Amino acid sequence: MASLLFLTALSLLSHSSIAAPAPVSSGTPNTTTRSCVDLALSLPIKANNSIYDIPRVDNNIDAVDFVWDLDHWSAPNATERIRGPKPVDQTFTISAQLCVPQAPNAEKADILQIATHGFGFDKRYWDAGLQPEKYSYVDAALAAGYSILTYDRLGVGSSDKPDAYEIVQVPVQVEILAAIAGLARRGTLATQAKAKASFTVPTFTKTVLVGHSFGSGLTISMLAHYPHLVDGAVATGLIPNTQVGAAGQRAFGLEYAAASNPSRFHDRGSGYLVQGTVSALQQVFFKKGFFEPRVLEYADSIKETGTAGEFVSFGSALERPAGGYRGPILFALAEYDFGTCLGDCKGTYDVSEIRRGLFPGAADVGVHVQPGSGHTLTLHGNATGHYEAVFAYLREWGL
């Protein structure tokens, strides 16, 4: 497989809301009936990060050279760059949104989906504000009867933005996901949400993890470390295959975030990277013919950062087999994924090898290839087809 790879305190600072009924016309967000609460989760985290030998990024010239440093053919790999352990023991504030379905669609309200976005976005990856009835995964999950929690990963959106080299790495992100799943499993999440919400919050009895891209890597790593916290998993936009990593860092068009867009990213320090142009987003995220140009502009308007530590530690997410995981996992891929499949997912993966190498105890390892989509599956024209395929798989496995 190696060749394939490259809570104590829960505070709810903000409000719950049920939007008042509003007229819904085509193109207007459907605000009729959503029961959602914004949460600021305070999570004590212990994780085993590493100190990597990578260059600092403090301006755009550094950013381009960072990509050179990782991508030149004779570059050392991530493991060879490790200079020592970096134990982390810190409390982080993570911004989350919990939404629960309402009758008559609430038959699966006790199943909580926890969705982890990938590089380049925040939790809005799952909840587009542009034509939500066409693009919002959150709306689709609610309509299918699931409860769903989305969150800004450490380093983006309204979550904390600590050191980009030694703190914001895969192991810390996996522990954060595990901490959230732990809150759900212990009932703490529901208890605390009930205290704030103006709607009925169900007791969550099952957990389904859903990831996108880098967030799928975190989801898979979570299954390896905390299999007992998860009943089902969906990895979108990522599969261990012959092309993972082939596009390299150079495909992203990275700039130093604070210099690239000072008004938006003034709160990002050294080592925070962002895609510089709309065309850079198109390169890795979109396939012509299957998206509306205004959706590409929308993606640019909500684009987010990633860290040097995340880029170098990404491969470690897929290294450890999830031998203890007994549930089903679906890989839901985009037909024309550039980053994951170098533009064409057909024939790049071997399901039996994935099962043998990573999920020997899983109830099932499934693959769905979503036709007519680039990497950002939630922002292509047939996003709802992608969602239906995901929900059909979960239903098939009793979730």
Ligand X SMILES: *[C@@H]1O[C@H](CO)[C@@H](O)[C@H](O)[C@H]1NC(C)=O
- Contact residues for ligand X, defined by CB under 6 A: 2, 5, 24, 30, 32-33, 46-48, 77, 79-80, 133, 143, 175, 315, 370-372, 382, 385, 388-389
> Closest distance between ligand X and the C-beta of residue 214, in Å?
17
Nearer to ligand X, 179 or 259 (CB): 179
| 3-class DSSP string for 352-386 | HHHHHHHCCCCCEEEEEEECCCCCCHHHCCCHHHH
> Closest distance between ligand X and the C-beta of residue 3, in Å?
7
CA nearest to 187, candidates 165, 202, 172, 166: 202
The two three-digit tokens of residue 1, written as one number: 């497989």
Residue of closest CB approach to ligand X: 385
Would you call the peptide bond into 104 cis, given omega within 30 degrees of 0 as the criterion? yes
> Closest distance between ligand X and the C-beta of residue 323, in Å?
16
Nearer to ligand X, 65 or 388 (CB): 388
Q: What is the residue-wise DSSP string for 284-331?
A: HH--TTSS-HHHHHHHHHT---EEHHHHHHGGGGGSS--TT--SEEEE
CA gyration radius for the chain?
Answer: 20
Q: Which residues are CB-contacts of 360 (< 8 A; sequence separation ≥ 6)? A: 321, 323
Nearer to ligand X, 50 or 348 (CB): 50
CA distance 301 to 19: 24
> Closest distance between ligand X and the C-beta of residue 9, in Å?
19
Nearer to ligand X, 266 or 346 (CB): 346
> Closest distance between ligand X and the C-beta of residue 19, in Å?
10
Nearer to ligand X, 26 or 263 (CB): 26
> Closest distance between ligand X and the C-beta of residue 332, in Å?
9
Residue with tokens 């605000």: 31
> Closest distance between ligand X and the C-beta of residue 78, in Å?
7
Nearer to ligand X, 120 or 315 (CB): 315
Give whole-number Cα distances, 302 to 126, 167, 275, 278, in Å.
12, 24, 12, 11
Nearer to ligand X, 173 or 370 (CB): 370
